[in-house]
Amino acid sequence: MSTSTALLAFSLLLPLLLISPSQASTPPQASFPNVTGGASLGELPSNVDLFDKAKLAKHWIPALFVFGDSLVDSGNNNFLKALAKANYSPYGSTFFGKPTGRFTDGRTAADFIAQLNGLPYPPPYLGLLAERKQIPKTGVNFASGSSGILPDTGAGQFLSLDDQIQKFESVVKELRKEFKNQAEFSQYLSKAVFYISTGSNDYGLGYLFPQTGLSQKFTDKTFAQLLSQQLTLRLQTLYAMGARKFLVNNVGAIGCTPASLNFLKPSTPCDDSRNSLVSVYNDLLPAVLSKLQAELPGSKFVVSNIFKFFLDIKASPATFHITDTRNNCCVDAAGNGTTQCKEGQPPCKDVKTRLFFDAVHPTQSVHYLLVRRCFSDPTICAPMNLGQLMGA
**Helix, strand, coil fractions of the chain, as percent rounded to 5:** 45, 10, 50
The Cβ of residue 272 has, within 10 Å, a number of other Cβ atoms equal to 15
> For 303, phi and psi rounded to 5 degrees?
-90, 125
Q: Are 258 and 326 in contact (CB under 8 A)?
A: yes
Q: Rounded to 5 degrees, what angle do the CA atoms 185, 304, 251 make? A: 115
**Amino acid in the structure at residue 33:** P
Torsion region of 122: left, alpha or beta (phi above 0 gives left; psi -120 to 50 gives alpha)? beta
Q: Is 283 a catalytic residue?
A: no
Using DSSP bridges, classify how beta strands 354-356 and 381-382 pair: parallel, antiparallel or unpaired. Answer: unpaired
Which residues are bridge partners to 382 per DSSP?
303
Catalytic residue among 70, 93, 197, 228: 70
> For 123, phi and psi rounded to 5 degrees?
-75, 155
Q: Is 358 a catalytic residue?
A: yes
Q: Are 85 and 146 in contact (CB under 8 A)?
A: no
Catalytic residue among 160, 361, 365, 367: 361
What does the alpha-carbon distance between residue 257 and residue 17 come to, in Å, rounded to a whole number? 10
Using DSSP bridges, classify how beta strands 324-328 and 300-304 pair: parallel, antiparallel or unpaired. Answer: unpaired
- 3-class state of residue 200 by DSSP: helix
Catalytic residue among 197, 358, 365, 367: 358
Which residues are bridge partners to 303 per DSSP?
248, 382
- 3-class state of residue 52 by DSSP: coil
Least Cα distance to 329 among 356, 353, 352 occurs for: 356
**Which class for 264: exposed (0-12), middle (13-18), buried (19 or more C-beta within 10 A)?**
middle
- 3-class state of residue 304 by DSSP: strand
Looking at the chain, the number of H-run helices and the number of E-run strands are 14, 7
- 3-class state of residue 141 by DSSP: strand
Residues annotated as part of the active site: 70, 358, 361
